Amino acid sequence: MEGKIEKIAVIGAGVMGSGLAQLFAQNGYQVGLHDITEGALGAALRRSRANLELQAELGWISSEEIETIMGRIHTSIDMADVASSADYVIEAVPEDLNLKKRVFKRLGELCPSHATLASNTSTFNVMEEVDEEQAERVLITHFFNPPQLIPLVEVVHGERTSRAAIETTLDLLNSVKKRPLLIGKYLPGFVVNRFQLAINGMAYALLQEGVLTPQEIDIAIESSISLRLAVNGPFATMDLGGLDVVAASARTMGVEPPPPLKELVDRGELGVKTGKGFYDYREKDQEEILRQRDYRLMLLLDSWRKGRES
């Protein structure tokens, strides 16, 4: 797990696998992409090319770069062909635990001893499912669809994962301009999926109450909190709105504010307007904080409106 990473293997050429292959190829890595049929591999290459063409259309890359990037992706229905010389491997097969266990067992047989073995699982604790001799180099890198675009990657390690494997992973993700979030232990659903579960749960509840249609619920989210949360996370958003307002709103909906929120309100630490809340703003200018928030939101809104008009 030491030395320079030059070759990356992606096992599984579905939507996630094709996006991962494109991501690493686009950042200069040689990529081996494996699936069990030529049809799956062909479809993966078509998806990657289509996304690169869209990037060229938007001016992110030049059209001349597309062939160079695609030329870095080698496909094979033989796992050994892509895994035997890989410095880093990402498993992206369907969410079937038995299938993942078989893949990791095979990777342990095929991969060089220095290769780090990562899983893109969004569900399973694969660190507990591997043999002792594999354990130190196994961890989770949970990318979000589409992985070539979404910045965050949840990095989850187990008690047996080596520090070298963790550092190698963080360095690799930073090299492809991702924002790795290191999670020190396995949590079912990790972090982001828990937020997604809560949002989906409320969407189902509103739908069942007959208040709104699925389209209307989507409009409500797309046109409000999705934009705000793209600029500031939940705690910063609460600080900007005023924690006293957040607490009062919760009580209006029949929810008692949780202890961390209540304690801040009781101390008079209400967010930006008092200089301290979940964050400390005492060394910052309140007007500048709001200006920066609005500037980022305006940039986002400009792209959002253009996208909806196209």
Active site residues: 154
**How crowded is residue 172: how many other Cβ atoms within 10 Å of its Cβ?**
23
Spatial distance between the Cα atoms of 213 and 274, rounded to a whole number of angstroms? 40
What is each CA distance from 96 to 39, 99, 101, 175, 198, in whole angstroms?
A: 21, 5, 9, 30, 24
SS3 (DSSP) at 9: strand
- Sheet containing strand 179-183, strands side by side: 73-76, 30-34, 7-11, 88-91, 116-119, 138-143, 152-156, 179-183
Can you give the length of the chain in residues? Answer: 310
Residues 45, 50, 55, 56: is their CA dihedral positive or negative? positive
Let me know: does 302 contact 285? Beta carbons within 8 Å: no
8, amino acid identity: I
Spatial distance between the Cα atoms of 97 and 103, rounded to a whole number of angstroms? 10
Indicate the pairing of strand 152-156 with strand 30-34: unpaired
| CA 74 centroid distance within chain | 24
